A = this chain, B = another copy of it.
Amino acid sequence: MPQSRFILALDFPVKREILEELSPKVHGLKVGLGLTLDLGVQGVKDLLKGLGVEEIVVDFKLADIAPIMQGVVSRLSFADSFIAHSVIGSKGALLDLKRFLDANGKKLYLLGAMSHEGWDDSLNSYTTKVILDVDP
């Protein structure tokens, strides 16, 4: 079977049995803020423990200064990677976060555009520039 390209988004609590059934079929799991608020960090860790997925992505859409984002990712040791907003820029934000995650063997995904109606696509040339600069 070819490696799965699916990532299962978890935005609220799901029964462990369901995760055990679906995990072998997906590449990874994406953990949302709602789930984390519902279960707490330890609860999320327990829910995902030993599922054997390739990647656990935390999707809080981080968009703060570097010290705050670094504080957040430090608290989520179960994650392999994190999603942040490119629009906040490099210096004092994403460059520092990237360096911090690199040093801790974690990955960064940068959001360049969103799909809802209100997103302004004229921002995309700027976000592309930031993404190339940060090189996640």
Contacts and interface: CB of A to CB of B under 8 A. Distances in A.
Interface stretch (A48-56, A70-78, A100-108): A70-78
Contacts of A88: 114, 116, 118-119
A65 B118 CA distance: 9
A21 B53 CA distance: 47
Nearest to A76: B37
A91 interface: yes
Interface string A110-133: 000011111110110010000000
Given A89-B119, A90-B118, A91-B116, 8 more contacts: A34-B71, A63-B85, A65-B114, A66-B116, A88-B119, A91-B118, A92-B116, A92-B119
